Amino acid sequence: MFCAISGRPLKYAVFSPKSKCVFEKSLIESYVQENGIDPINKEALSVEELIEIAQTSEQYAMSNSLNSSTLKVNYSIPNLLSSLQDEWDAIVLENFQLRQQLEASKKELSTALYRCDAAMNVATRASLEAENLKQELSILTQNLAPAQAIKADSNNEEATDKLASSLMQEIIRNSQEFAKASRKVKFQPLPYLHYTADTEVIANISPNGKIESAFVNGNIANGKLVAFHSAEGSCNIISSSTLETGSLKSLLKQNEYLNFAAPLSATQVLFGTKSGKHGVYDLVDQQEVFTVLQNDDDSEVVMVSWIKEISERAYVVVNSNGLVSLADTVDHRVVDLKATNFRTTFAHLHKDGLLLLQGNDKNLIVQDLTDVAKAPIEYAHDVEVEGPILSAKFASNGYWLVLATASLLKIFDLRKKPNTLATETLVFTDKSLVAWDLDPSMKVLYLVFKDLENTDQCTLCCYEYNKPSKKWALKKSITEFFNDVSNLAYIWDSTAGYIKAVTSTALVGAKLD
């Protein structure tokens, strides 16, 4: 038999009931008295628990032949060897303990290094995210300064300037906090390869109707709604599963028409008329929520937008002459920020509330509302080659600006120099683009095309974004889509996405799952 500690033949063998191993008695007793545990499995062990193993007469004679009293007395060399043996056994025991300590230290060091590497990785990612956020905020909100009203009545010019400055400072301050919070909201792409058309239309509509989509109270975290309106004042608010119907006809005078309506909540719409009126209307209560306001410039309103997270009292208004205003719902006043004399047929407010897009069929500009004295950024567009602009909007990720014509779709990167593309341009040669929308994850793009030969036939195409290559790949074409579509919007709930589209006679829907 051999000792589990020293590996040498045993003189006085003992058995440990804890690890079921045998040891040299002197070594194990010394170890247990010092540590109180079994050296093999580390369980608690006392000297009393050790069991001596009896030896045969032959084993006893052999183990003690060189340590007899006669030899010890009469010879010095065996006595010396016995002493050296005892010293060696002590060294073996100490070496055994040191090896155990070394192994434990290696494990602790390995664990510490792993945790250190993990902490460094987390710190590096946090630092990169902080730097990216600083860069994005710097680009999106350069030269922050209180906006000054450029038009004011001579009797209240000072009060108007103070109001404009106060409102803009509130928007700037809240926008920075809102931007940080909204970047934490992440979306995963919902299934889209299976298509189910609604068996019935959502609503019958007049031919001159329009749809506008917006986030609830201006915040994507609250979800997205669609509003349909007609020029005569009828209006519907559509979610993924509900429909709210109402009318704004009571607000319209004779020969006055509605030009814009976007959802603010499940029951309220932001509206603008062709004669310059604007406000908030509740379809359930059938009344205006605040006093209806009127711009000094009676041109038609092309956009009304309100992000309540950054301003509890003021919304942004843009009219067809390019006039940008803030409407104060507390003091019931309109503060003009900038008159660009830029022909505007559509406009869109950035999700953070500080950048404004204005466009028409030939030109597109973006301006910083915090510095209205600064010239706007012009985005290059060759209308002769690329065709008239159908639409343009900021994407909900805050980084992209999407421009669409009948023959192409371009996405610009707002974080880089103006006119820098973020993705590969999609070009269409054998079909005509009608409308588009993005899912909130920014990974799926929905496009509706009309056949160049059969203009009533429409196809819904689903493109998926490949981030490494910065390209869009066609994943599914739905040829059984509704005919004669003029516009669409993509909305969602927790389980599926929905396409809401406008045809010449109806508001229709389709489920993607």
Q: pTM for the complete prediction?
A: 0.69
Instruction: Mark the ranges of the chain whose per-residue pLDDT is less than 50.
Output: 66-75, 143-153, 199
Which CATH number characterizes residue 239's domain?
A: 2.130.10.10
The domain tally of the chain equals 2
Is 344 inside any structural domain? Answer: yes
For residue range 249-286, what is the model confidence (pLDDT) as tens digits? 999 988 899 999 999 999 999 999 999 999 999 999 99
> What does each C-alpha distance from 261 to 236, 255, 279, 440 come to in angstroms?
10, 18, 10, 22
Per-residue pLDDT at 403 = 97
DSSP 243-300: EEEEE-GGG--TT--EEEEEESSSSEEEEEETTSEEEEEETTTTEESS--EE-SS-SP
Is 133 inside any structural domain? Answer: no
Is 481 inside any structural domain? Answer: yes
Which of these three, 63, 84, 110, is where a domain ends?
A: 110
Which CATH number characterizes residue 89's domain?
A: 3.30.40.10
Per-residue pLDDT at 74 = 45
Average of per-residue pLDDT values in the chain: 86
Q: Are strands 51-52 and 13-15 parallel, antiparallel or unpaired?
A: antiparallel
Which of these three, 66, 92, 110, is where a domain ends?
A: 110
Q: Is 359 helix (H, G, I), strand (E, B) or coil?
A: strand
**Domain span including residue 496:** 180-512
Q: Are strands 400-405 and 389-394 parallel, antiparallel or unpaired?
A: antiparallel
Per-residue pLDDT at 200 = 56
Is 98 inside any structural domain? Answer: yes
> Do 224 and 215 meet the contact criterion of CB atoms below 8 Å apart?
yes
> What does each C-alpha distance from 463 to 320, 416, 423, 475, 487 come to in angstroms?
33, 24, 13, 6, 18
